[in-house]
Amino acid sequence: MVAALAYETWTWQPVISPIKETLLSAFRQLLRPLVRTLLRHGVSYAEYAETSKAVFVEVAEADLVAPGDPSRTSLLTGLTRSEIARIKEQLAVRQRPSTANLNRIGRILAGWHQDPDFTGPYGLALELPFSGAGHTFVELAKRYATGADPAAVLQELRDVGVVADGKGGRIRVLTRAYIPSQEDPAVFQFFGVALRDLAETLDFNLNSDSDAGYFERRVWTPAGIDPLDLPEFDALVHQRGQQFLETLDNYLTTKETEADHLAESAKLRVGVGVYMFSDAHRSFKDE
């Protein structure tokens, strides 16, 4: 009788620390809405993975690895040195999307609503002639969109729907804040910058003493509310949130003016983001 030997097959699994496991679980929740956005716009996993590799290399070499140490970059990211070299070659020639248009529109709208030269009684934004005597749109553009052609700036504002033609050829501003529409490619720049700023604050606070972190607070309903109350809460957030942000915007505009004498490299970008969240439109619940 021939004895049969049975061999148990097994696959090696890396040991993951509790902290790493919790962190990966948190990123899984973070990625769900982001992956949904990518899939809706035809981005495949291969395209996403290639972008993720590039970000791993960029962050490792910018923040965590001494310059000129590809072996350390490889060890930290898990990518081969040849793959890192290929990614860096691509990064060197890649054209990064510019946020100049978003910033320019924001500066003009802020100036139009806050600069005493362009506001009337009760702080209301004036309707401006394009050019001529007195305070004009050309003056506004030169002050808050330095170096840009005023006619091109006006057309840009018309294209995104934040100005309209008023009486007597004057230009009327329609809104204080610019939020790109879904048809505007700038909406994805807005999307990325907003998420990055929130994530940067969370990362900074995780690595700072409790008293040194940036302000980051949330209020929510652990027990939930009646769905019928959602529209009322949404309206309250829009009203109070806009008032809060306009108060901070007035403060920051004053500080920007006071910092005009500084070189661009010496200035610090700061701000506050306010957002509302709800389970109403989610396809999943938090784990």
Please list the residues that pair with 103 across neighbouring strands.
none
Please list the residues that pair with 120 across neighbouring strands.
none
**What is the structure's pLDDT at 6?**
47
Distance CA 215, CA 271 (A): 11
Strands (E), 97-208: 163-165, 171-173
Distance CA 212, CA 210 (A): 6
Residue 263: count other Cβ atoms within 10 Å of its Cβ.
7
Q: Which of 197, 164, 191, 163 is nearest to 179 (CA)?
A: 191
8-state DSSP, 118 = G
The backbone region for 122, taken as left when phi is positive above 0, alpha when psi lies in -120 to 50, beta otherwise, is: left
Residue 72: strand, helix, or coil: helix
Per-residue tens of pLDDT for the chain, all 287 residues: 444 444 455 555 566 788 888 989 989 988 998 998 888 878 889 999 999 999 999 999 988 988 878 899 999 999 999 999 999 988 887 756 555 566 788 889 888 988 889 998 878 899 999 998 889 999 999 988 888 899 989 988 988 888 998 888 899 999 887 776 665 666 777 788 888 999 999 999 988 876 788 999 999 998 899 999 999 999 999 999 999 998 998 898 889 888 988 998 899 999 999 999 998 877 665 55
Main-chain phi, psi angles of 53, to 5 degrees: -60, -45
pTM: 0.63
> Measured between alpha carbons, how far is residue 132 from residues 118, 136, 143, 153 in Å?
14, 7, 16, 17
**What is the structure's pLDDT at 183?**
58
Residue 77: count other Cβ atoms within 10 Å of its Cβ.
20
Helix (H) or strand (E) holding 55: helix 45-59
- Is the Cβ–Cβ distance between 178 and 102 less than 8 Å? yes
**What is the structure's pLDDT at 136?**
93
**What is the structure's pLDDT at 2?**
47
